Amino acid sequence: MKLKKGDTIKVIAGKDKGKTGKVVQVFPDLNRVSVEGVNISYKHLRKSRQGQEGQRVEYPSPIHASNVMLVCPQTGKPTRIGYQVNEETKKKVRVSKKSKEAISS
């Protein structure tokens, strides 16, 4: 999976199309990412004791990775991600397909 925790992404399909947010959690086995402010679900909790109130907790549900695109830090536009080997450090780095520059994570 090419997306990592902390990346800024834009939703390109689904009910939250057009929204942007940061990746909170990555599920590589399921090919899904959880993004703050996107695909919000609610969990209703009963009161557990006398005098306590029930509550409604909201949390971001995972969204499929094919429905999001990374926002390029240089251009600010959605972009695909590729890999290149850095000649100086001999390490594989993520590269923006639009600006051809390395993506720092």
Q: Give the C-alpha separation, 73 to 70, whole Å.
A: 9
Residue at 93 is within a domain? no
- Structural domain of 70: 8-78
Residue at 96 is within a domain? no
Whether the predicted pLDDT of 105 surpasses 70: no
Q: For residue range 13-32, what is the model confidence (pLDDT) as tens digits?
A: 999 999 999 999 999 999 99
pTM for the full predicted model: 0.81
Residue at 98 is within a domain? no
Q: Give the C-alpha separation, 40 to 85, whole Å.
A: 37
Residue at 17 is within a domain? yes
**CB of 93 closer than 8 Å to CB of 104:** no
Strand ordering across the sheet containing 68-71: 62-64, 32-35, 20-27, 8-11, 68-71, 78-79
Q: For residue range 34-74, what is the model confidence (pLDDT) as tens digits?
A: 999 999 999 999 988 888 899 999 999 999 999 999 999 88
Residue at 1 is within a domain? no
Task: Report the CATH number at residue 47.
Answer: 2.30.30.30
Q: In the prediction, which pLDDT does 92 show?
A: 92
Question: Count of domains in the chain?
Answer: 1
